Structure 1
Amino acid sequence: MSGAGKEEAVCVTGASGFIASWIVKLLLDRGYSVHATVRSLDDAKKTQHLLDLNGAKERLTLFEANLAVEGSFDSAVNGCVCVFHTASPVLFSANDPQAQLIDPAVKGTLNVLKSAAKVQSLKRVVLTSSMATVMFVSKIESGDVVDETWFSDPLFCEQTKLWYHLSKTMAEDAAVKFAKENGLDLVAINPGFCIGPVLPPTLNATSEGIMGIIKSGKELFSDGIYRLVDVRDAATAHVLAFENPEANGRYCMVGRVVRSLEIFKIVDGLYPSLGHSERLKDGKCVEPIPYSISREKAESLGVKFTPLEVSIKDTVESLKEKNFLRF
């Protein structure tokens, strides 16, 4: 889209999030001026780690914005060449899915895009979507290769009470329609379950989940299958999706699909004191993963996936450094 280092202005919504913080870091490293939105400028837990990034003093401006309020993002996106829209609630259970997940995801996305549509300098919007919008259908056949042509079935998500998946599916769908109708160039990034080093001082839902697996072997998903991607790879894909004029449509971002037993093996090899060897002793014969997820389109964008062992080690070291994980 443009050469880095031109100090062009770009906007990152929900900038204090797990992936978003890395996007802000990469953009600053590449010389962009970054307009970062947060829910409250008074919450140091959401802002200080951003203000401490290299280049932040010179090229980072924080804006307060609320997904629920139309026009809230106008000043943040003004003058920008790209908007990275990452802000969306991540909850794996909800008492009121409509209010807690669906409305903020769908209306929030449309509010950001309405602000973006007013900006003449804007070249592209990069949307943080999710694998939740890709592969949740009533049946996946053994040997299926999941790629960008797959779309989750909203009815299936509703019937199986996958509210987060439904919220992301509806938000991506609404974004694509709005972009078409309003002449916005939109690219979607669809990460799997993000692991890797944590920049914010607070734990996000996904890091909490991976910590549960590392610490106590607590399964997050009933089938014990994890579609993992390094958060740094997910963030890189966002930046490349802006910088590469050929980027289009959506990009599945999953480095590896593994069973939890494989995660335990890696953790046990790196950190035997965590005692996963006991768990591995009873490890049943691990059946092959019934499907695979294509990395082809992501790799064509220039993404080089981080090896899983490196991601897991960096996750543990980061959680230790922040005192979330002690052993």
Structure 2
Amino acid sequence: MIGEGKVVCVTGASGYIASWLVKLLLDRHYTVHATVRSLDDPRKTEHLLALDGAKERLTLFEADLLVEGSFDAAVNGCVCVFHTASPVLVGVDDPQVQLLDPAVKGTLNVLKSAAKVRSLKRVVLTSSVATVMFGVKLPESGGEVDETWFSDIVVCEQTKLWYQVSKIQAENAAVKFSKENDLDLVIINPGYVIGPLLQPTLNFTSEGIIGLIENGKEVLEDGIYMLVDVRDTAIAHILAFEKPEASGRHCIVGDVIRSSEIIMILDKLYPGFGYSLRCKDGKRVEPVPYCVSKVKAEGLGVEFTPFEVSIKDTVESLKKKKFMNL
């Protein structure tokens, strides 16, 4: 197996993407060092310890993003660090404390620990399309966004898009540190992540899907969603390590669709709940004005899950975990 005998580290391992990353790494026979904020919190540990292969090849470490040296033990002896740990919040009272410091200082603390490890081959950073296409003029008719696009941090600050600011600052800090310290950094920029949950807690994007499904509450003002399956996102991270030629940023977006199209799919999957009544202008859906390039993602070997499958799997997972009733 590909991962046999290889030790890797996943930070923030109890999170939505990271939990799937740990699962798929174990499935590929990697030995995984996984960091969580508290070893005493069963919500952060039990679902990880229950994964196939966890008993033999998973070790949990407690680590704090804001404490330098906190990740030393977890990254020691690893060939790759997957840094996923970063807060995902939108409404914040103190963006510096709640978002910016954990994102930026946390990233630098993880990279400082990684830079001490001689066995390390690569760092794979979980960034976001938040660093790619916010605060800039997007294509209006059939254009394409790709990895050469960069969000405008000044506009994001002025419009108080603090999550986007945190991801921009963290990605910039990671690139700068990696260049100065000769670290091989590969960046993953996923869109709006959906799909089944492994963790017992409700994450931000899944909560947004619940709001959209149950009362039509839009997460994004323009109603355009850059969807990607959590499983595709996790495998993209792994391929970013396994492919020696991988470099730079990678937009990971399966489909760009309008919320009305999501509602139409729900109406087809769950016809008894009358979702079609919420679709504007009957069955007509305005085309989306732009797409996100899949060239680099597919170059890694990512095969995107059809969004109808992702949406159904999301809903069924939320029902199973009793986060919503349909």
Length-normalised TM-score, structure 2: 0.97
Equivalent residue number for residue 246 of structure 1: 245
Q: Deviations over 1:131-178 (max 9, x none)?
A: 000011331231331000111111011011110000000100000000
Do residues 62 (structure 1) and 64 (structure 2) align?
no
Unaligned runs of 5+ in 2: none
User: Aligned partner of 2:47: which letter?
Assistant: H
Instruction: State the alpha-carbon separation in 2 of the partners of residues 301 and 319 from structure 1.
Output: 30
Instruction: State the alpha-carbon separation in 1 of the partners of residues 310 and 283 from structure 2.
Output: 25
Instruction: Report which stretch shifted further, 163-172 or 210-219.
Output: 210-219
Length-normalised TM-score, structure 1: 0.97
Equivalent residue number for residue 220 of structure 2: 221
Instruction: State the alpha-carbon separation in 2 of the partners of residues 253 and 132 from structure 1.
Output: 12
- Cα offset for 1:250? 0.7
Equivalent residue number for residue 211 of structure 2: 212
> Does the 8 Å CA contact 1:129/1:168 hold for their aligned counterparts?
yes
- Cα offset for 1:288? 1.9
Q: How does 1:1-327 map to 2 (within 5 A)?
A: 4-142=2-140, 143-280=142-279, 282-283=281-282, 285-327=284-326
Name the SS of the counterpart of 2:66 in structure 1: coil
Moved over 4 A (4+): 281-285
- Cα offset for 1:258? 0.5
Aligned-pair identity (%): 72
User: Aligned partner of 1:99: which letter?
Assistant: V
Q: Deviations over 1:40-86 (max 9, x none)?
A: 00000111000000000000000000000000000000000000000
Instruction: State the alpha-carbon separation in 1 of the partners of residues 291 and 151 from structure 2.
Output: 16
- Cα offset for 1:218? 1.4
Name the SS of the counterpart of 1:99 in structure 2: helix
CA-atom RMSD, angstroms? 1.2
> Does the 8 Å CA contact 1:110/1:174 hold for their aligned counterparts?
yes
User: Aligned partner of 2:103: which letter?
Assistant: A
Q: Deviations over 1:252-289 (max 9, x none)?
A: 00000111000000011001123202212655853321
Instruction: State the alpha-carbon separation in 2 of the partners of residues 283 and 66 from structure 1.
Output: 50
> Does the 8 Å CA contact 1:215/1:274 hold for their aligned counterparts?
no
Aligned length: 325
Unaligned runs of 5+ in 1: none
User: Aligned partner of 2:55: which letter?
Assistant: K
